[in-house]
Structures are given as C-alpha cells and as structure tokens.
Amino acid sequence: MTDLPEQTAPPAFLTVLTTTDAAQKAEALARGAIEARLAACAQVSAPVTSVYRWDGGIETSEEWQVLLKTTGNRYQELEEYLRGAHDYDTPEIIATPIIHGGADYLAWIEEETR
C-alpha cells in the first residue's frame, strides 16, 4: 500500500472500488464481503473497458466493477479480504471517503458492518 498523507482519524464511511475479469468473480467478491459484514452493500457494474499499462505493454480488457459501502473502521479488514480473495496480482482497491450522505443510509451502513 502506498502511504498517503496521515489522517488523525479514519473517515467514518467509505466507498471501496475493485475490478475483476468475470461477472461471477465480481459477485463472489461482493457476496463474500457482505457475508463477512465487511461492507453493507456491494454493487456490481459491467462490463467496463479498462485500458492500462502492464508488463511493459498497453492492455485492453473487459472488467466488472464492484463498489462496496463500508465504514472507515472496517476498511483494513475489507482490503485484506479483497487481497486474499482476488486472483489479480495487483488488484485495484481504491477507497473514497463519503463526505455527505443520508443519515438513515449511513446509520444502516454502520449497523450492517458491526
């Protein structure tokens, strides 16, 4: 993991994005995170076309995105789960803080990730 500027406290709520190369793999990643209560919700979107540099060349592939909603306190465990369950050498795992949200929805995320 690349170190970013240090924060005094983790964000209260996050969306976490990952991608994989098959719909079944995306659903399995999503379901596993929900079953383990590492995320309250996961949305699978697909297909998307990804263009990226890998092993010295430019690749184009079809991928499925998984967007997970979680709390800052559960992020580390969610990242560890994604790394262990993912079959990519370098999986995309990007967390974005939720700055604002409906109070009832955020309370639901908190409840579902306990």
For the stretch 60-75, pLDDT in tens is 999 999 999 999 999 9
1 falls in which pLDDT band (50, 70, 90)? low
Question: Does 17 score more than 90 pLDDT?
Answer: yes
**Token pair for 46:** 């697909």
Average pLDDT over residues 90-113: 96
Distance CA 25, CA 92 (A): 14
State the pLDDT at residue 11.
Answer: 82
What is the phi/psi pair of residue 21, to 5°?
-95, 10
Looking at the predicted structure, is the pLDDT value of residue 81 above 70?
A: yes
Residues 97 and 49: their CA atoms lie apart, in Å, by 25
Separation CA 51–CA 11 (nearest Å): 30
pLDDT (0 to 100) of residue 94: 98
Check whether 15 has a pLDDT greater than 60.
Answer: yes
Q: Which two tokens stand for residue 105?
A: 């929805």
pLDDT for position 46: 81
Alpha carbons 6 and 22: distance in angstroms, whole number: 35
* Phi and psi based region of residue 7 (left: phi greater than 0; alpha: psi -120 to 50; beta: remaining): beta
